[in-house]
Structures are given as C-alpha cells and as structure tokens.
Amino acid sequence: MLQPPATTRCSVALACIIATLPRVLVSVDSAAAQGIVEGGVFRDHGRICRNFRFYWPTAQLTFDRHLNRELLLVVDNAGRLLAVDFATGTTAAYPLPVRGSAWHAKCVKDGTLWMGLGFGAAELVRFDPSRRAYLPVTPRPQGAGPVQMICDVTEGIDGQIYYATAPQAQLWRYSTKNKQHQLLVNRIDNGNKYPYCLTTGFGGRIFIAMASDQDRLWCYDPDDGTLINMTPQRFQVPGHWERPVTAGKWILYTWHDSGLDQVQLHLYDGEQRKFIKAIPLPEYAHYTGDNSNLVELPGGRVAVKVARGRFREVRLPELVLEPGFDLKDAHGQMLVRAASDGKTLVTGWGQEYGMAPAHGGRVRWRLPDTEPTPHAIFALHGHQNGRVYGSAEVGNTIFWFNPTTGETTNTGQVTDTSGEVYGFCAHADKIYMASYTWAVLTAYDPALPWRPGEAATSNPRTIGRIGHDQYRPVGGIHLGPGGQLVIGTAPNYGFQGGAFTLLDPSTDRLRVYRNQVPGGTVTEFAADDNLLYGYGGGEFFIFDPEMDKITYRRRMPGGPMVSVADKLYIVSNKALLSFDLQRRCFQTVEGISLVGVPRHCLKTDPRGHLWAITNRTLTKIVPETQQQTLFAKTRGQAAAHLTATPDGTWWFSSPDKMRLRSFRSPMD
C-alpha cells in the first residue's frame, strides 16, 4: 500500500550574506517612520515541495493497438496525462497541450480520450493512446461567456461530443465532423453552477448530474431539445459529485443524506425520464463521491460500493444487491475500473494505482515510475525538533526539511481523502493536521515510522471527520485554551454555516460550534490559557470554553491575530490594534503599517515581539516602543505561510509559493 517517504538532498545553492548596516528611516504606506535593516541571513532553499497525485475521476481504460493491451489513462496534479501500462508497471507522461487541469475524462468508441480542462484554459482536449499524441480540436468560440471549467464530457450515439461548463451550467455539443461548437442549453439549472458529471443513456439522451447547491439529475434529449429534471423534491439536497451509470434504459446514481450520513442507491428510468426507487446502503459510512461508488463491469453489469472494499452487483430493474467482490487493502475514496478481459480490476487512490482479480482479493498497489514534480507550498510549520513541515497544494501529502542536513522528505497521502493539508499544530509529541476534503483531522508523531491509517498504531493516525457538513478547514488548526486545539472550517458546497471546533487531543473528543459568526466560518484564531479569540464574517469574538459560549462580540475589520501576555494583537485594515483583555477595549498601536498581511501571518517570538509579512516583506514589531523594522533582503520575497523554528529563523514561501525561503535577523 503506501510507500515510505522518499528522502532527497536539496541541491540548491544557498546564498548567504551577512551584513549589518545603519538603519535608514523611510515612509512606507503611511506617515509612520519605519526602520529598514539591510543585514541578516536570507536563504532560498529551492523547490523542495515535490509530490504526485492522480486526479482519479479522470481515469479511463482504453486499448493501445500497438501494444495490443489496455492502458490506464489518468491526469495528474502537474498538468500531465499519464499513460500507465499496468501490465508492465511502466508510465509515460504527456504534458497537456494547454494550461489547466481536468475534472473528468471519457474514452469514446474510437479509443481516443476526450477531456475538458478548467482552472486555466477551458478547452476540450483529445488524445490518441495508440499514437501517443494529442489530436487537434477547434478552440471554444469567443464571446460564449466566461467559463471557468469544462466539468465533464460524454459521447453521443452519433459520435458527437457533449460537454458541460461552469459556472454558467451550460450544455454544449462539439461536432467531430465539422469541428464546430454548438450551445444547446444556456442554463441547465438555475440553482446550481456545476453540471459535474455527464453520461449517455437510452436513445442517446444525455444525463446530467448537477452538484453543489441542489443535487438534481437532468435528462436532455438531443432529438427534440427537451430538458427534464428527474429528481424528486425530497432528494434535492446539496453536495454530490458522482457520475451516473447507465445500463440499457436504466440509470443508477448514488445519493448521500448528509444529515443521517446515509448513502442510497437510486434507480431512474431513462426511457420514461423519471425516478423509480431507492434502496439504502446502511453499512456505507462517510460518503466519498468522485466516481468512487459505481463500477461498470463487462456485459453491461454494474456493481455498487456498500462499504469500504466491498462491492455488490446490482440486479436490474429490481434494484436488488447480489454477490459481487471484496477487495483487501482497500481505501475509502478509491476508484475502480474493470478491464475488458473480465479478469482484472484496476484501481487508484492518491499517488498509487493497483490491480486485483475481478472476483476480488488483495489489491497490489504500485507507485508510478514517474518523478514527483515541484509543487506549490500550501502550509508551513516550524517544529520544536528544528524541522520545517509543509503541505503541498493538491495531494494531501506533506514534506519536512532538515535545515542542518539540507535533506527534504516528501511523503505519501496523509489520510484517505483528496485535497490538501490546510494547517499544522504541535501539541505534546504530536503534529496535528486538518485536511480538505471532508475536514479530516490527523495526528502524526515525527519520532515514529510513517504508516498512515485509522488504527491506534497508525502514524499519522486519522482521528476522523469533523462532520456537521463541514468540508474545508480554511481557518487552519491552532493551539487553543487549556491544551485544546481549535479548527476553523467552511461547509460543504451548497450548505450554509461554517464552524469552529475544539479538539481534546487526550480523548479525540470534538465540540463543534456552528454559525457563531455571520456565515459561520472563522478564519483567524488566537488563545491564552483560558479564552479563545476568533475572527470571521466581519466579527471579532471571545469564547469561554468553561462557560461554553461567546462572551464578547464586536463588528470590525479584522485579520491575523496573536496573543501575547495580557494583550491580544490583531491586524485591522492597515493598522495594528491591541486589545486589553481586562478592560475589553481596542487601541491602535501608533506608527505601525501592515499592508496585505496573508492569513495566519502575524506571529510572536519568545520575547513577545511580533513578526508579520507585509507587502511581501518580513517585518518585526515591538508594540511597547511602537517600533517597526522591515528587512530589506526579504523585500518582495515573502508570500505567505510565516512560521519560525526554535533557533529564531523565520520561514515563508516565495511569491509563486513554489520555493521555501528563510531569514535570520542580525538583531536577534
């Protein structure tokens, strides 16, 4: 299964110039006089965050005529299409022809792969696996309105390509004959932005799974242009990301009741264009989505996941579950594809792909033989052991850098979800992490071997999901009052009400406080021994864990904050405010200018001095003397993720967030 982390030595030359020059007083964005220090040790440690992850919803099996066997085609997080020969274990990478990434892909009857890109160029892309080459596709027409992404593609019975775009929720058709794009539906669903998945079914009709605000399954008929919502009102709830599967005139679709955390299997009639029935899957906990629940088998058969690693065949139209197959060493958010020979299942999770017999058994996991690519840093944490820990943007992997040896270690998946680690917090001998998706918490002991999982002996150990419809830990994870940890989260797509959550690390007990500020999402935190301070939704508040309630609120502009002795400091607009905890009042710290301070980038050192990133420059503040120092060597070099190690070195990411950088002040 998961492989041990790989260790590499950073080969970047370290530029290190130490000089101390007299301070020069200048004016920076205000009338405040600020000191500019030219000395110090600034280092660029290079692009050491290197991870790899498949976008498994794009995975397709197709036949290579030259090799005379099937290949696994899947897009990775570095903008490459990978052709995995799972029979030999070799992988070839083909950079996408335009900038962007793909949500879904589809192999069509002629064996070519079609995909729609987004988060860059929202264009159709076509790849011929036998020629190992991209084929020309006419760019989308200008003036068609802003498109963020092409969500999914499917092939019509006439060989034309249908695709759906977001955020306008449009349906388009691309003619493979005259190479033209045609807008079919200007707005599929007024209540949803994302026509997440498409599939072709009875009579060439296109079935569209809308996700985000309201879950609806639509049917578009190319013959007469009619569009019908087939989903009963009681099932129109937020947050599903699953491609329907068709078998003859029947459509199967998995549906999640988030309130009950119950997954159901739904049956629709594609000829009558209506819902037929549903059955519960009572052993299926923690819905995953991302096309991981339904498996198309040879001969038009379909299997459904009923629990982790357990799949049952579906008898239609009765919607009865019959014996299927069980997979050992399975993951929850794991995609499964059936090879056309009827003998092999090909599966994928995170950084790995695997194979198992079609009748079930142990999954043989493999890592691709492609090199991990440099990736953007998503979060940083300076640890008491002297290492710097960080996470990668997309991949749910972490790395650590040893400043003494120059070695970097990049790991596999932290937990069984997609997304990324949003934050780190050290407590006792553990590093606690909060991950997107599904707001998952994990605990890692750096002194023990890497063996991730959910068992008591796993490391990192998955504590579990926060639940309560929480999805993205945008507020990070921080040390709270009384040895507790606090996490700030935004809700799942389509839901209202973020939360902050207190975690007791001695028991794993969670206390979730939802809708405590406008919008519910708390993005900044600070704490002392007794109280929690937070900011979100334009409101500052104080929470007393003993009283189990918020005891103070104030509407105000806010931002990063830090608690020092009997004071709390918070960034408000371009100013630094101090909050007297006894008198419960704010006061401006004169002479301080803070512009563009990134999230979580106001910190303190052991002497009670403040450190921040302002205008991409590292600054030090002594509130008592109203003194602010800017470090010239970091000017324009510090983007985000400010953290410190015990030796007084400050760490941050470069403006493109691809490089790890550090600075040691000559004054400390």
Confidence of residue 163 (pLDDT cuts 50, 70, 90): very high
Of 308, 288, 184, 183, the closest CA to residue 240 belongs to 288
pLDDT interval class at 145 (50, 70, 90): low
**What value does the mean pLDDT take over residues 99-103?**
87
What's the confidence (pLDDT) of residue 565?
87
In the predicted model, is pLDDT for residue 20 greater than 70? Answer: no
Count Cβ atoms below 10 Å from residue 361 Cβ, excluding itself: 15
pLDDT, tens digit (0-9, with 9 covering 90-100), for 496-524: 899 999 999 999 999 999 999 998 899 99
Q: How far is CA 312 from CA 281, 295, 322, in A?
A: 11, 10, 6
DSSP-based helix, strand, coil % in the chain, nearest 5: 5, 50, 45
- In the block, residue with structure tokens 């050192």: 605
Model pLDDT, residue 67? 85
* DSSP strand pairing (245-247 vs 250-257): antiparallel
pLDDT digits (tens, 9 = 90+) for 27-50: 333 333 468 888 999 999 999 999
User: Mapping DSSP to helix (H, G, I), strand (E, B) and coil, where does residue 464 land?
Assistant: strand
pLDDT, residue 15, reads 29
533 contacts 545 by C-beta, under 8 angstroms: no
pLDDT value, residue 369: 87
Contacts of 507 (CB under 8 A, 6+ apart): none
- What is the Cα–Cα distance from 455 to 367, expressed in whole angstroms? 23
More confident residue, 336 or 239: 336
Q: Exposed, middle or buried by CB within 10 Å (0-12, 13-18, 19+), for 71?
A: buried
* pLDDT for 492: 87
Q: Is residue 1's pLDDT more than 70?
A: no
Share of the chain above pLDDT 90, in %: 76
Strand ranges of the sheet holding 549-555, from the earlier edge strand across to the other edge: 524-527, 532-536, 539-544, 549-555
Query: May I ask the CATH class of domain 53-140+148-287?
Result: mainly beta
Is 13's pLDDT higher than 80?
no
Predicted confidence (pLDDT) at residue 116 exceeds the cutoff of 80 = yes
DSSP state of 459: B
State pLDDT tens for residues 217-237: 999 999 999 999 999 999 998
Q: What is the pLDDT of residue 144?
A: 63
557: nearest Cα among 594, 612, 513: 594
CA distance 613 to 642: 7
- pLDDT for res 604: 97
Q: Rg for the chain (alpha carbons), in Å?
A: 27
pLDDT at 597 over 50: yes
513, β-bridge pairs: 500
Furthest-apart CA atoms within the chain: distance in Å: 83
Roughly how many angstroms between the first and final C-alpha of the chain, as a whole number?
Answer: 46
Question: Which phi and psi (to 5°) does residue 235 adopt?
Answer: -100, 5
Alpha-helical runs (H) found in 325-452: none
| Spatial contact of 413 and 396, defined as CB atoms under 8 Å apart | yes
Residue 289 has pLDDT above 80, yes or no: no
Query: What's the whole-number mean pLDDT along residues 256-282?
Result: 92
Which pLDDT band holds residue 4 (cuts at 50, 70, 90)? very low
Other CB atoms closer than 10 Å to residue 295's CB: what's the count? 23
Mean pLDDT of the 381-402 span = 95
Report pLDDT for 141: 87
What is the tens place of the pLDDT at every residue in 628-658?
999 999 999 999 999 999 999 999 999 999 9
Please state the domain extents for the chain.
53-140+148-287, 293-371
